[in-house]
Structure 1
Amino acid sequence: MRIYFTFEPRLELREPLVEEFPQVDFVFESSLSTEELQKADVLVTYGEDLNEDILQYATKLKWIFVASAGVEKMPAQAIADREILVSNVRGIHKTPMAESMLAHILAIKRALPWMYEQQKKSEWSKKGKQTELRDSTALILGPGAIGSEVGRLLQAFGVATIGCNRSGKEAPYMDVMVSFDKLLEALPKADIVISVLPKTTETTHLWNEEHFKVMKNNAIFMNFGRGNLVDEKVLIQAIKADEIGYAVLDVFEQEPLAANSPLWTLPNVIVSPHISSHSSRYVERSLNIFKPSLIKWLNGDIDLENIMDLSRGY
């Protein structure tokens, strides 16, 4: 059994893995090489280094473990045609991402960006527009592991939570649930809108001009799912028209965000370069999901954690 990592975990994480599975031949590299891929039975990757041309070299490959939640950059049809099992690390992002979202919300509510600007100018002023988070309402698009965790934290601050998904089916830490077709009815109640939706055909440009127009004009719009949710021209127009109060964006239609994009310089916009999930514990948590699945795999059990349906994108 040969397992090929296209990234190198820290030594203190790598050594216990090798010791725990002496029957496995592990290969750790900092990038993907076709030579090693030809020998691999299992591939461990972040998912961005694999394409259809490269996949043809993976003649022995039976399982791909993706140390990421999204697979939109992977050759889904080619992998499905080869009947290669794919699993991922769904769930490990909830702590750093929920903390990132809460940090941005509190920063805006308590006028921290304004304070930082005052400090740069050495100006003593008490004119910052500070508001409270308590008694706000947050609408969370995609209340899965990440959305439910941010819902839990927001409820602890006295925030009412509305979850929104395709079916309207109940989700943890949501006071109310609505389906996508009821979204326009729920939006006027929201002080904060947070999207953690995956990239699928259904979510592409799900959000449009009408959604911005029914929002409170002081609401915070946050996209931490995928950039396909909204056409950036529509988003920019909504910001310029003062249809929302703030936009906090961790994902974009094209990444990296072009240097000439108006989003860099528009007031009341925070650009986060797709780093909300970053954490010093990221690989540690990934391996905590990989190891139990590897034990199953070695015992001939393919009922692994977080098996993905590539046709649906998650």
Structure 2
Amino acid sequence: MKIYFTFDPRPDLKEKVLKDFPDVEFIFHNSIDDGVLKEAEVLVTYGEDIEARHIEVAEKLQWIMVASAGIEKMPQKEIAKRGIVVSNVRGIHKIPMAESVLAHILAYKRGLVWIYEQEQKAEWSRKSKASELHGSTALLIGPGAIGSEIGRLLQAFGVHTIGCNRSGKSVDYMNDMISFDALQNTLPKVDVVISVLPSTPDTLHLLKYEHFKAMKDSALFMNFGRGDLVATDVLMNALIEAEIAHAVLDVYEEEPLPSDHPFWQMTTVTVSPHVSSHSSRYMERSLEIFKPNLRKWLVGDNELINKMDITKGY
């Protein structure tokens, strides 16, 4: 069996994979070689480097392991037509992303940006406008594994958590649950709105201007899921019109965010360059999912951990 990684893992992690599967042929590149792809039965990729033509070239391909959570940039129709199994690393992002979200909230609430500015100016001032996170209410849109971990941390700070998903079905570490249908009526009650939704046809521009108008003018909006949750001009207008107080964004409709984009200059926006999931343990955790899946695959079991429905995007 030939397994093709379109990236080159850290040497120590790569050595462990080779040691655990001595009878499997692994090829590690930092790009895609059509000659190797033509012979590969399993492809391990971050997803963004796969185009429709690659699926045509990969005549023997049966399984794509995506070392990421999102598959929206992959040629989904071509993969589905071939019946290729797709799995991802859903769940590995929950710790770094939850810590990133909490860090941004605390930085905003406790005035850390102002403190850092004073430090740079060597100016002693105690006119901080810090507020408390304790006693506030947070709405988490799309609370899966990541949202539940965010909820757990927020509850430790005395925050009331409300989860929002398509069904309204209960999720761990949410004090209350609502469905998408109840979103408009719930927004006026919350202080922090956090989205960790994936990109699917159902979530495209889910949030409209009326949703931001329904939020408190003191609300903090955070998008750590996918940038197409809200149209850029809608969010910008909501900020300009002071419908909300501040937005912390890790994802955008256009990435990289152009250097001349207004968000960079807006004091009501914190720009994070899609790094909330970054961690020194990212690849280690990805391989912890890949290796048991490979053991299953080698004995003919294709019911893999995090097996996805490529046509639905999750």
Unaligned 5+ segments in structure 2 are none
Give me the identity figure in percent.
62
Which amino acid in the other structure matches residue 206 of structure 2?
Answer: L
TM-score, length basis structure 2: 0.99
Match of 2:288?
Answer: 288
Structure 1 counterpart of 2:123, which letter? E
Which residue of structure 2 aligns with residue 78 of structure 1? 78
User: Equivalent residue for 2:223?
Assistant: 223
2:214 is the counterpart of 1:189: no
- Deviation sequence 1:164-195 (CA, Å, 0-9, x none): 00110100100000000100111111110000
What are the Cα deviations for residues 184-209 of structure 1, in whole angstroms up to 9, with x where unaligned? Answer: 11111111000000101111111011
1:10 aligns with 2:38: no
Between the aligned partners of 2:34 and 2:228, the Cα distance in structure 1 is: 31
Residues of 2 paired with 1:267 and 1:300: CA distance?
55
- Name the structure 1 match of 2:211: 211
Q: CA deviation at 1:218?
A: 1.1
Instruction: State the partner residue of 1:149.
Output: 149
* Structure 1 residue 26: Cα displacement: 0.5
Give the letter aligned to residue 150 of structure 2: V
Whichever residue aligns with residue 263 of structure 1, its letter is: F
1:257 aligned partner = 257
Aligned to 1:139: 139
Written as runs of structure 1 = structure 2, the 5 A alignment for 1:267-278 is: 267-278=267-278
Q: Tell me the SS of whatever aligns to 2:39.
A: coil
2:36 corresponding residue in structure 1: 36
Across the two proteins, how many residue pairs are aligned to each other? 314
TM-score scaled by length of structure 1: 0.99
**Could you say which residue in structure 1 is the equivalent of 2:122?**
122
> Cα deviation per residue 1:42-86 (whole Å; 9 max; x = unaligned)?
000000010101221100000000000000000000000000000
Q: CA separation in 1, counterparts of 2:35 and 2:220?
A: 49
Per-residue deviation at 1:240?
1.0
User: Where does the alignment leave 5 or more consecutive residues of structure 1 unmatched?
Assistant: none
Deviation of residue 122 (structure 1)?
1.8
Distance 1:128 1:31 in 2: 49
- Give me the whole-angstrom Cα distance separating, in 2, the residues matched to 1:31 and 1:295: 26
Instruction: Please report the RMSD computed on the Cα atoms of aligned residues, expressed in angstroms.
Output: 0.7
User: 1:64 aligns to what SS in structure 2?
Assistant: strand
Task: Please report how far the alpha carbon of residue 117 of structure 1 lies from its aligned counterpart in structure 2 after TM superposition.
Answer: 1.2
| 1:243 shift after superposition | 1.1
1:308 is aligned to 308
